[in-house]
Structure 1
Amino acid sequence: MNKLVLTLAIGAAALTGGPAWSADQADQIIRGQYQAVLGDCAGCHTRAEGKPLAGGLPLETPFGALVPPNITPDRETGIGSWSEADFRSMMKSGIGHNGVRLYPAMPYPAYTRMNDRDISDLWAYLTTVQPVSNKVEANQLPFPLNIRLAMLGWNALNFTEASFQPDPSKSAEWNRGAYIVQGAGHCGTCHSPKSFLGADKDSEFLQGASLQGWFAPDITNNAQSGLGKWSEEDLVKYLKTGVNAHSIASGPMAEAIENSTSKMTDPDLKAVAVYLKSLGSDVDSAQPAKPDATRMTAGEAIYRDNCSACHGGDGAGSGALFPSLAGNSIVAQGSAETRRPPCLPWPGA
């Protein structure tokens, strides 16, 4: 639901005897809808062909399956019996209604950085979503991981509740980008490597991680494996459309662009680009190890048969439709999980 549609819906509700929101309340709901966009709530909590925010597909974690729950305001199966204080506690500390401890597949380690106004706005929006009766068994982890009390120890080792702290030495635009990436956007949840306990490795923030059979790539300014060869404009275009001269989005990133970044404002996209381009050096002297001659020969044959027709014999590509593979940061990643181009099917597809 975009801002115009939401505004019309609020007006229609008032005219037809629905909730009578004041102008301030209407503004808060619209701001909250945008927070849901930044947080990509639909990406996890809405399954294909399902009702909005009524529960999503299982997330396959290294520890077992977790299913994003129903977050519509249905009182029996959603969050309709929650208070705003319950919601804020869940977002800031990972402890929800009735003291239930959440698993970090719900990215409260990132959401904790959101400010109180944005969390309150998001809550206001969620209370206006159409309630859907859909009971979801969120915790499908095996014993003993299904014991939520274990998260008390996990939090003690891996989590500190803290709000975002602006860097006074940086511009307002940089700080806005940092706030989105570190907070509502929770980019590190996918793009940061994880410890054996499933916590983000802060020392390798946004340097790439495996995710449900895909590799969420390095999105620092590393010249070899990250965004060092991208301009800010390249990054904005990619987040807006999923396509630029360097890459075409696929898999979970394509879904994130469809549900979230394509709906973000241009100033926010620019702020995200400014922040990401500031992370790490744009000069990297490290060179990938060259495979032996036998593997190089086999790779050349595979490339010639499967890739060269679109990407060219030299890997230079052809515009945005067939991006360059030569020197492409995705190809230079340490993992091969997302190197398969969209034109080729995944095994078993």
Structure 2
Amino acid sequence: MNRKSLFALSAVVVTAAAALVPVLWTGTDYLRNSSARAATPADQSELIKKGELLARAGDCVACHTVRGGKTFAGGLPMATPFGTLYTPNITPDDKYGIGKWTADDFYRAMHTGRSKDGSLLYPAFPFTSYTKVTRADSDAIYAYLRSVEPVSVPSRPHELKFPFNNRNLLIGWRTLFFREGEYKADPTKSVEWNRGAYLVEGLGHCAMCHTSINMMGGPVNSSAFAGGLIPLQNWYAPSLTSSEGGLGDWDIKEISSLLKTGVSERGAVFGPMADVVHNSLQYLSDEDIQAMATYLKTIPQKKEAPENMQMETSEAFGGELLQQGQKIYHDQCAKCHAENGLGMPPNFPPLANNQSIQMKSAVNPIRMVLNGGYPPSTQGNARPYGMPPFAQSLSNQEVAAVVTFIRMTWGNKGTPVSPQQVADLRSAPLD
């Protein structure tokens, strides 16, 4: 219940991308419709409760609910270069929702990417990850969705350009990028590691944001989790494995705190990831978070993500920006982040030796200076400290200057930022 497709057809959904889910580990003991015993009311209540947790933690509501609309009634527009996709109604309405779907129909959609009528689903619905979800967890989500209020609202048809409105074209895409199959535990790894892998690779579909997309809309698997620009959102999902932003030198406590509360001693999450933590990750159990962190720290990386084109400044102009940025930082930033860049974590994250500041892509720090923002409000951090926007008070060159200063000071090894990069992002959508 999220997003992805051909090029941006898949990319749009990368936004929500990343929500990791507290799935109850079932190993290979799946609930099959054909063999499961008749459920008692207590059994059904527990199944619905489990499904609600999965659906909420998986952030299904983010794609299937329009702001101010009925929950799960769909209709959320997802603009792509190929036209606009609209998310479907997944309430148990018999006419417009999934009221006539069986648990088998629902599992087929999750596992094979085919709708009740057998038609191919666009990979804006991340079935390439959901195929790894167990039948038991699929049944639980189905049971929960069947229990919510039915909404009699028709699903709006997609408005895709020719020939992308021909679903048969997806056959080729699926041949290249889709491998059907539930998650298989690695017997050489611990139970905790396998649980983390199941959460990250399955319903969590984290790779959809943190893996670059090629020109055909498929993941660059050789650079899995190595980061990449989220198309049409203009945010950069950092590498989880490389030297620029990997988790190798983070300890479990730091990773867990970031995922659970949105803040840690090493930094805070903003943008799309803040939504993920707010809607999803904060609801995981501590054991789920630890398992996920354990797995993420061990992800092997063959090579770095393909580089995004950066607008380079000359050495002389970069030096001018650095000087100008020093004064702006002193006047506007040092009160919270300190003159030495060490900040006052976790409320005001450090900028010195901050990997997210030094990445090859300067998209995220530019957007933060322009638009400001807050980490998510979570149970563990109910009143987060935010950053004010400077888009109205600083020019493109001034924003470029202060970001350049932050990226190149206190031992940071970033590169200068072009005012043109700032101009391009100033008009970018905020979500």
- Same fold by TM-score greater than 0.5: yes
* 1:218 aligns to 2:239 (yes or no): yes
Match of 2:357 in 1: 331
SS state of the match for residue 117, structure 2? helix
Q: Do the aligned partners of residues 80 and 229 (structure 1) sit closer, same or farther apart at CA in structure 2, a change above 3 Å counting?
A: same
1:82-231 map, 5 Å: 82-137=101-156, 139-211=158-230, 212-220=233-241, 222-231=242-251
Check conservation: 2:133, 2:183, Cα contact below 8 A: yes
Match of 1:79 in 2: 98
Matched pairs, number: 324
Q: Do the aligned partners of residues 313 and 173 (structure 1) sit closer, same or farther apart at CA in structure 2, a change above 3 Å counting?
A: same
Write the deviation string for residues 19-58 of structure 1: whole angstroms up to 9, x where unpaired.
x961111111111112213422112212322222111532
Q: Do the aligned partners of residues 172 and 293 (structure 1) sit closer, same or farther apart at CA in structure 2, a change above 3 Å counting?
A: farther
Letter in 1 for 2:270: S
Q: Which moved more, 1:329-338 or 1:199-208?
A: 329-338
Question: Counterparts of 2:91 and 2:152 in 1: how far apart (Å)?
Answer: 9
Match of 1:254 in 2: 274
Match of 2:321 in 1: 298
Alpha-carbon offset, residue 236 of structure 1: 1.1
Check conservation: 2:94, 2:100, Cα contact below 8 A: yes
Alpha-carbon offset, residue 265 of structure 1: 1.1
Write the deviation string for residues 81-136 of structure 1: whole angstroms up to 9, x where unpaired.
22222111110111112112111111000000111111111111111111112223
Q: Do the aligned partners of residues 197 and 309 (structure 1) sit closer, same or farther apart at CA in structure 2, a change above 3 Å counting?
A: same
Write the deviation string for residues 175-222 of structure 1: whole angstroms up to 9, x where unpaired.
0000000001010111111111111121111111222211111123x3
Check conservation: 2:73, 2:90, Cα contact below 8 A: yes
Alpha-carbon offset, residue 249 of structure 1: 1.8
Question: Counterparts of 2:149 and 2:43 in 1: how far apart (Å)?
Answer: 21
Match of 1:265 in 2: 285
Q: What is the TM-score of this pair, normalised by structure 1? A: 0.85
RMSD: 2.4
Match of 2:51 in 1: 32
SS state of the match for residue 331, structure 1? helix
Match of 1:321 in 2: 347
Question: Counterparts of 1:116 and 1:255 in 2: how far apart (Å)?
Answer: 27
Q: Which moved more, 1:205-214 or 1:118-127?
A: 205-214
Letter in 1 for 2:159: Q
SS state of the match for residue 79, structure 2? strand
Letter in 1 for 2:113: G
Q: Do the aligned partners of residues 70 and 261 (structure 1) sit closer, same or farther apart at CA in structure 2, a change above 3 Å counting?
A: same
Letter in 2 for 1:217: P
Alpha-carbon offset, residue 302 of structure 1: 3.0
Match of 1:67 in 2: 86
Alpha-carbon offset, residue 301 of structure 1: 2.3
- The percentage of counterpart residues that share the same residue type is 39
Alpha-carbon offset, residue 325 of structure 1: 1.5
Match of 2:11 in 1: none
Question: Counterparts of 2:185 and 2:62 in 1: how far apart (Å)?
Answer: 28
Q: Which runs of 5+ in 2 are unaligned?
A: 1-38, 305-311, 373-386, 392-424
Check conservation: 1:36, 1:122, Cα contact below 8 A: yes
- Give the alignment partner of residue 242 of structure 1, picking from 252, 262, 273: 262
Check conservation: 2:266, 2:345, Cα contact below 8 A: no
Q: Do the aligned partners of residues 156 and 177 (structure 1) sit closer, same or farther apart at CA in structure 2, a change above 3 Å counting?
A: same
Q: Which runs of 5+ in 1 are unaligned?
A: 1-19
Q: What is the TM-score of this pair, normalised by structure 2? A: 0.70
* 1:347 aligns to 2:411 (yes or no): no
Question: Counterparts of 2:41 and 2:289 in 1: how far apart (Å)?
Answer: 30
